[in-house]
Structure formats: C-alpha cells, structure tokens
C-alpha cells in the first residue's frame, strides 16, 4: 500500500506571496492532519480534516487554511507569507481516531 | 537535521547498548501516547503507542512505559543499532481529538 505523499517536496516563495501544498493520504484513510515543524517551535498541529470537514484546529493565524476533497486528498494554503513561515510542513493520515502515518513533508522557504 | 531544534537533548550510546529516552507530557487528560522516529529528510515514523489504561507495552526491540502519576513516558530500545540513530519524539493525544501534541524530541546517536 502506498504511503502518504506530499507535493511539492521543496518550495521557495517570497514574502507576501501565497502557497498551496498538497497531501494524498493512504488509500482508505479519511483523516488528514497537517503539522508545521521548525527548529524553534518543533512540531505543531495546524488542523485536521475528516470527510471534508475540519474537525480540529491548532493555534495558527487565519492565514493558514486547508480543505479536504471527497477523495480524502487535502490541501493547505498559506496566504501573505512571512519569513517565519519557513518550515517543514507535514501531512499525516489515519483511518479515523488512531495511528497517524506521516508523509515526507514539504520544505517551504520564504525569502 | 532539519527536524530538530538547535539545542536538542542528545543521547549517545554504543551499538549493542540499551537506550532509554524519556519524555514528560503536559496534559493529564491525554489518553493516547505515541513514539515517533524521525530521520533526516523524512517525516516521523510510528514506533509504538500506548493507551492510558496500560503502563507498559512491548514491540520488537522497543518498550514504552507510561507513568500517569508523574506524566512521564519512556521509550526503551534494546540492543541499539546504528540504524536507530535519529530524533525521537513522544506525542500525546486525547480521545476524540486527532490532534497530536509533540514533545521537543531527543536525538539518539549510536556509535558502531
């Protein structure tokens, strides 16, 4: 069974731009969660989607948003990028309320 | 590597030793705990989990211990191998919330 895939793997953007990251969960998984990983703050939860609905949300500003499609694929969007948004963005999928499997992440650099 | 803070706690062991990595969790209402391993350039990889109705769970070469009284988790790795070198994170979750809260991580360095 294929694992969680994330695209693109690397991205460079400039301040003020917006970005969209994509995540394809493991087949059959309906929950997709997003995390931000930085050297200073570690791994932090952004939000979780289940059956196209946001079920849980972390403490990030409204510039961070996401959505999930009927095939469980998910996207997250960051608008008006700031230097501090440079991070590894990780997506994880699970069946429902259980073990989360992580993708390799998208490395976003904001200049 | 890219996955960790600049001042990450580091545990250095020799190949064949047993390793113990500790973690303090924050929420007394958490009832599901997981250990992840993260190698450079990769996403976290599930190692083992434990629910709050247990105090010990064993996997292949790994054991997780949970002490709810002091909100402490530990991961024991038997016969540590160079391939075990990575950053290890504990994570906590509450039933009904698919929202992991991660610890800061510990870097494990295994020398041959």
Model pLDDT for residues A27-43, shown as the tens digit of each residue = 999 999 999 999 888 99
Contact A33 B98 (CB under 8 A): yes
**A71-92, pLDDT tens digit by residue?**
999 999 999 999 999 999 999 9
What is the CB-side half-sphere exposure of residue A61 using CA atoms within 13 A?
Answer: 8
Which residues are paired to A88 by β-bridges?
Answer: A37, A107
pLDDT tier, A1 (very low <50, low <70, confident <90, very high otherwise) = low
Residue-level pLDDT at A98: 77
Q: CA B64, CA B50: separation in Å to the nearest integer?
A: 7
Q: Name the more confident of A2 and A57.
A: A57
Mean pLDDT by 10 residues, chain B (112 residues): 58 97 91 94 94 95 96 97 96 82 94 92
Mean pLDDT of A52-74: 96
- In this structure, the number of other CB atoms found within 10 A of the CB of residue A34 comes to 24
CA-based nearest residue to B73, from B36, B43, B110, B99:
B36
Q: Nearest-CA neighbor of B102 among B17, B15, B13, B23? A: B23
* A90 → closest Cβ in B43, B91, B104: B43
Is residue B91 within 8 A of residue B36, CB to CB? The reply is yes
Chain B segment 45-104 residues within 8 A of A by beta carbon are 45-46, 49, 89, 91, 95-104
DSSP A25: P
């Amino acid at each position: 069974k294929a694992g969680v895939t994330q695209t693109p793997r690397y991205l460079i953007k400039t301040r003020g731009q917006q970005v969209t990251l994509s995540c394809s969960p493991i087949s059959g998984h309906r929950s997709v969660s997003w995390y931000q990983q930085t050297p200073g703050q570690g791994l932090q939860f952004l939000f979780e989607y289940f059956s196209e609905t946001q079920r849980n949300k972390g403490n990030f500003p409204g510039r961070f948003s996401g959505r999930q499609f009927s095939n469980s694929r998910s996207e997250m969007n960051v608008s008006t990028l700031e230097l501090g948004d440079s991070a590894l963005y990780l997506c994880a999928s699970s069946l429902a309320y259980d073990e989360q499997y992580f993708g390799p992440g998208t490395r976003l650099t904001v200049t | 590597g890219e996955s960790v803070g600049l001042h990450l706690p580091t545990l250095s062991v020799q190949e064949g030793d047993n390793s113990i990595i500790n973690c303090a969790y924050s929420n007394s209402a958490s009832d599901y705990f997981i250990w992840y391993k993260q190698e450079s350039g990769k996403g976290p990889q599930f190692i083992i989990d434990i629910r709050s109705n247990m105090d010990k769970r064993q996997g292949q070469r790994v054991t997780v211990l949970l002490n709810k009284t002091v909100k402490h988790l530990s991961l024991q790795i038997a016969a540590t191998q160079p391939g075990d070198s990575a950053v290890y994170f504990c994570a906590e979750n509450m039933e009904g919330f698919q929202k992991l809260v991660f610890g800061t991580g510990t870097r494990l360095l295994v020398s041959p």
